[in-house]
Amino acid sequence: MPVLPAEFADLEPFADWALETEQERYAKRLASTMPEMQAFYDAAFPRLADVMDYGDQFDLRDLPEDVRKLVHLMQSLIMVSFPVEVWKQPRVPDSGAAWAELVYEPVV
């Protein structure tokens, strides 16, 4: 059963990245391999502008569920961008046991 808008059916194989919280997205990033993140990045990044244009037609406080999932998918894209583009690994280099906890999500 598709979870994303039909216009973004090509991203459906990556729907497991449409996670609601930053904590879930971060855990998925840490549990993913670089080839998995690279495949997601390569598919989703070229669609980012299309997603933004599509999302502009909706009120952010009242998104349909499929659009909400699409927003969460793009939030995951942001989560993997530094590992893919810069670090070449899921973890932040030289961060040791550092930890930050987000207490407010940008999209409800």
Determine the structural domain holding residue 55 and report its residue range.
41-90
Give the mean pLDDT of 13-18. Answer: 98
Q: Is residue 33 part of a domain?
A: no
Residue-wise pLDDT for 20-65, tens only, equals 999 999 999 999 999 999 999 999 999 999 999 999 999 989 999 9
Q: Is residue 96 part of a domain?
A: no
So what's the pLDDT on residue 89?
A: 84
Q: Is residue 66 part of a domain?
A: yes
Amino acid, single-letter form, for residue 55: G
In this structure, the chain runs to a length of 108
So what's the pLDDT on residue 88?
A: 84
Q: How would DSSP label each residue in 7-65? A: GGGGGGGGGGG--SSHHHHHHHHHHS-HHHHHHHHHHHGGGHHHHHHHHTTS-GGG--H
Give the mean pLDDT of 99-108. Answer: 61
Q: Is residue 107 part of a domain?
A: no
* CA 87 to mean position of chain CA atoms: 17
Residue-wise pLDDT for 73-103, tens only, equals 999 999 999 999 988 888 776 555 555 666 6
Confirm if 28 and 37 have CB atoms less than 8 A apart: no
For the chain, what is the domain count?
A: 1
